Amino acid sequence: MADEHAPPKIEVRVADKKDVDAIIALSSKVFRDEAPYTRGMILGQLSAFPEGQFVVAYEGEIVGYAATMMLKERKALAQHSWAEVTGGGYAAMHDRKGDWLYGMEVCVDPDKRRLRIGKRLYDARRRLAQDLHLKGIAFGGRMPGWKRNAKKFDSPEDYLEAVKRSEIRDPVASFHLKAGFEPLRLLKNYYPADTASGGYGILMVWRNPYYDPQREEQPVNRGNPDVVRIATVQMQARTIEKPDDFYKAVEYFVEVSSEYDADFVVFPELFTLMLLSCEPEELKPDAAIRRLTEHTPEFVERLTQMAIRRNINIIGGSHATETDDGDIQNVGYAFLRDGSVHAREKIHPTPNERTYWQIQGGDPIDVIETDCGPIGIMICYDSEFPEIGRRLCDQGARILFVPFNTDTRHGYLRVRYCCQARAIENQCYVVTSGMTGNLGNVDNLDIEYAQSGIFTPCDFPFARDGIAAEASENVEMVTVADLNLATLAWARYEGSVRNFRDRRLDLYRTTWSDGG
């Protein structure tokens, strides 16, 4: 039986008084040429607006801090200085009746920049602005490239325009633009000690797309995330010269999906069989399983780090391996962006898997808790058993991920039709990811047929044919779709049909061995 490997390595949470010393130490490390935050300043921020101060912890160490407060629009969007608007860094100007979230500070450990800590902190701010029904986020951003490029431009305004046109890259301003912030104007004498920026700040804003001034109650997008972006990879089987070639191919797709701001990227069943293609000779089944098992620690570590660095949840297809209890299993992994790893075994091996690989069926059928809500994994053949999807959705899953590997069109269609049935009967989303191509030097992976897709229930708010997106047949590509979880809730309670709720539990139900 496969075990869950590790607790979260990285987490974003609200700061607490016990974090004060660590935040001060972090600010000392970040602001080497300036005075760090004092204990009184941090305590003032925590006292003024406790829910608005965030830290990022990596393996227990504070590596990021974001300080915020609330301001009225006339204050947040007017000309101002950092000292004036923040009350000297104490958040003393915080206005609980404010309609904008104002960013006082973001500190990121310079030794941990590859972990996308800044993006995580900005995402936390966005969620807070939505939860509080605010108009948006505003802050004075730095432009540290201005001083060294000043001779090339007539004014700082010209420099900012060049940055906006991507004619020149500013280390901070370009990051803010890429993150979706809009520059309104320059703030003169915003922070005089910032000599690299000439003392200027850029008034950056992000407008809450869910803010409706006509409604007293604003909708919340991500209390428990409503909109989840999915990227499913239809991957070409490729012969590799060394294992690193496989991981480079995987990281390419992870990076692309991350650049599209996907919450999940999904890979196919048995995609790790490509690791066997660099062996000097074709391995027999028992030797192949032993070799794949040797790859397991590196596979888990590599994809865990990809999930953390790229700030994305990875559904790592499946990996045939001998597990800790000595059984041979086909194991699906979820590598979450908080650094935690979850393993789920294939419940129903196909006749081919049982005969050729000696793979046995697993036994845990449980959801995985993610930052986008509970999800379920059904590996290929498992999707053809309706009890699996029903149990996962009963446990709260609203998205089911199905990595698959089929050799023929009729094998593929069995998976596809059953996945669409699971989406209809459970009123959930089902995401599939398959392999294409062939590997002539890996036994039992001769030909592949795939058309990966993202399937929805069939009702008015969803795609007309129940397909949110799908790949072209047998072509390596990434398919992306936004899935609205609130729409599922509507369908289950107000839809044309309500399959999930209309079950006749007085006549039938499935009873599981654990009592569920």
Catalytically annotated residues: 269, 346, 380
Burial of residue 363 (CB within 10 Å: 0-12, 13-18, 19+) is: exposed
Strand partners, 203: 140, 185
Which residue has 């650049």 as its token pair?
259
Strand partners, 289: none
Strand partners, 448: 437
Question: Dihedrals φ, ψ of 367, to 5°?
Answer: -75, 165
Count of beta carbons in the 10 Å neighbourhood of residue 498: 14
Length of the chain: 516
Three-state DSSP state, 138: strand
Helix (H) or strand (E) holding 375: strand 373-377
Q: 478-494: string of b/e by CB count within 10 Å (b at 16+)?
A: bbbbebbbebbeebbee
Backbone dihedral region for residue 126 (phi beyond 0: left; psi -120 to 50: alpha; all else: beta): alpha
Burial of residue 191 (CB within 10 Å: 0-12, 13-18, 19+) is: middle
d(CA 191, CA 195): 9
Give the closest residue to 180 by CA, choosing from 150, 221, 136.
Answer: 136
Which amino acid, 52? G
Chain-centre distance for alpha carbon 515:
33
d(CA 323, CA 104): 49
- Token duo for residue 183: 């520059």
Which amino acid, 214? Q
Q: 335 with 304: CB under 8 angstroms?
A: yes
- The pairing of strands 264-266 and 227-236 is parallel
d(CA 278, CA 244): 10
